[in-house]
Amino acid sequence: MLRPLLLNSRRSFVSEVSSILTAQEKHEFVRRILSAKRASGLSFDDIANRCQLSNVYCAQLFYNQAQLSGSTATKLKLAVPQLQESDLLEMQKVPMRLPATEQLQDPTIYRFQEVVLLYGQSLKAVMAEKFGDGIMSAIDFQITMEEAFGNGGEKRVLVKLNGKFLPHLEQANR
């Protein structure tokens, strides 16, 4: 029988900040929880389906870039039984979202940056026409990745970004 993994049973997410503070500590933690994932034999899609999450958010959890809710912790432990309870508790804390600068050299990650650099100005212009002056939230946000096929039957990558529109407001004295 699994014990409840919530650090604070009154909240879905806890407000305690992660004890992982350095890039080295994060690297070791991520390596350990990814090892548990590999031992499960499940893909991010498989785990996401079992936990009722998007596949990208599931991957964020394993790279310690997102916070695990208490209700999802129980599902995650069932999907990946090799995860240690101490790791699940750490995953429920507010993570230090430290990007490793060497990751920016990875061709796949660099191509995502390139997409924003090449299309960013046009995306902003279309967004302004449709919504007005504002931004797309990366907090109230969902991202998924799916396999698609082109007209010639070639494999294609379909990335869906779904973020809340946040208008810029006039800053008036009140």
For residue 7, give both structure tokens: 């650090």
Cβ contacts of 70 within 8 Å, gap of 6 or more: 4, 5, 6, 7, 8, 9, 11, 12, 13, 14, 92
Q: Are 81 and 53 in contact (CB under 8 A)?
A: no
Q: Rounded CA gap, 26 and 19, in Å?
A: 10
Q: What single string gives the DSSP state of each residue in 69-113? A: PHHHHHHHHHH-TTS-HHHHHHHTSBP-----GGGGGSHHHHHHH
φ, ψ dihedrals at 169, nearest 5°: -110, 150
Query: What residue ranges in the chain does DSSP mark as E strands?
Result: 134-149, 155-167
φ, ψ dihedrals at 123, nearest 5°: -60, -40
Q: Which residues belong to the active site?
A: 111, 114, 137
